[in-house]
């Protein structure tokens, strides 16, 4: 069974990559399709990222911007240079496509973004190019071991469509209601199945590695980790952190605010991003804590 290191770009997953060699090291990049969100990106880094994504993700559009701190592009390249093992870059659909398909903004009630943009991208890589299931190492530390209990080892994948010329072919009214009409006049229904694709491994929990050990390991390595990891507009983040991100990465945050206006909904329950932008900054707030995404990948 192949071993896989899932690399998020934070210090914890980077520690696993550096200290626990695997058969496959993979990084999934969250992409924005609007070039304005990437106006400050280093053009050389963008080209380097596209060169990597071309190898396994040539079926997706050109990379032009990311919702993560842009520093992450340099982080992944520097990690690879330091350790000397190839990191495979993958991506899924961009934010705009995802919002259009789901007709919703990700929030505490609709937590689909990481599944679509990261988990599905990695699943498709392993399903199409390697052999399932794999042993997947995730960056869950000993001081957050409860996260390991939430790991899902199966993935719900679309297998095929069933075509019907007439909905009345189905005697079950519930199934008839589930049919979708195609513009050409026929009806279809997606079929899905749960695939066992990974067996979770948690070496940091087994070796009792906590946040202190991670910080000590990286303090003299010169790797530029993002101050605030994962998507800058993430609904898991505290409003104060989102407010700070308007200063750190304004093109991303203003892009996200526009998406709220377009979709008519907000990432946070109580405030829109534009309202958060107008908040004062708490000087005693502990910034740069990242986010603990419950989908099974994101961690600082």
Q: Write out pLDDT tens, residues 12-39.
A: 999 999 999 999 999 999 999 999 999 9
Can you list the domains of the chain with their CATH numbers?
3-153+197-232 (3.40.50), 158-193 (no CATH)
Q: Write out pLDDT tens, residues 97-125.
A: 999 999 999 999 999 999 999 999 999 99
Q: Where are the beta strands (DSSP E) in 61-176?
A: 65-66, 88-90, 134-137, 154-164
Each as own residue / partner, the long-range contacts of residues 182-191 (CB below 8 Å, 24 or more positions apart, any chain) are 187/163, 188/161, 188/162, 188/163, 188/164, 189/161, 189/162, 189/164, 190/158, 190/161, 191/158, 191/159, 191/160, 191/161, 191/162
| pLDDT value at residue 55 | 96
Q: Write out pLDDT tens, residues 165-203.
A: 888 877 788 888 888 888 888 888 888 899 999 999 999
Tell me what the pLDDT averaged over the chain comes to. 92
Task: Look at the pTM and tell me if it is higher than 0.85.
Answer: yes
Q: Is the pLDDT of residue 293 over 80?
A: no
Length of the chain: 300
Average pLDDT over residues 85-94: 97
Percentage above 90 pLDDT, the chain:
78
Q: Is the pLDDT of residue 292 over 70?
A: no
Query: What are the Cα distances from residue 216, in Å, to 74, 79, 220?
Result: 21, 16, 8
| pLDDT value at residue 288 | 64
């Amino acid at each position: 069974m192949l071993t896989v290191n899932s690399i998020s770009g934070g210090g914890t997953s980077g520690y696993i990559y550096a200290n626990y060699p695997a058969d496959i090291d993979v990084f999934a990049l969250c992409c924005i399709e609007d070039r304005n969100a990437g106006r400050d990106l280093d053009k050389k880094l963008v080209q380097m990222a596209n060169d990597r994504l071309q190898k396994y993700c040539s079926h997706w559009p050109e990379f032009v911007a990311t919702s993560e701190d842009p520093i992450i592009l340099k982080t992944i390249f520097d990690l690879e240079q330091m350790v000397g093992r190839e990191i495979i870059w993958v991506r899924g659909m961009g934010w705009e496509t995802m919002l259009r398909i789901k007709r919703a903004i990700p929030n505490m009630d609709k937590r689909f973004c990481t599944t679509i943009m990261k988990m599905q991208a990695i699943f498709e890589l392993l399903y199409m190019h390697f052999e399932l299931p794999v042993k997947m190492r995730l960056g869950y530390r000993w001081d957050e071991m409860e996260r390991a209990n939430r790991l899902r080892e199966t993935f719900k994948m679309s297998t095929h469509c069933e075509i019907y010329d007439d909905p009345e072919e189905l005697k079950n009214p519930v199934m008839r209601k589930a049919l979708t009409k195609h513009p050409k006049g026929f009806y279809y229904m997606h079929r899905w199945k749960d695939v066992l694709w990974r067996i979770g491994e948690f070496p940091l929990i087994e070796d009792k590695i906590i946040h202190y050990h991670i910080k000590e390991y990286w303090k003299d390595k010169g790797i530029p980790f993002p101050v605030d990891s994962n998507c800058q507009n993430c609904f898991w983040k505290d409003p104060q952190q989102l407010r700070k991100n308007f200063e750190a990465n304004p093109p991303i945050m203003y892009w996200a605010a526009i998406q709220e206006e377009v979709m008519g909904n907000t990432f946070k329950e109580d405030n829109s991003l534009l309202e958060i932008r107008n908040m004062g900054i708490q000087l005693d707030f502990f910034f740069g804590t990242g986010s603990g995404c419950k989908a099974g990948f994101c961690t600082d």
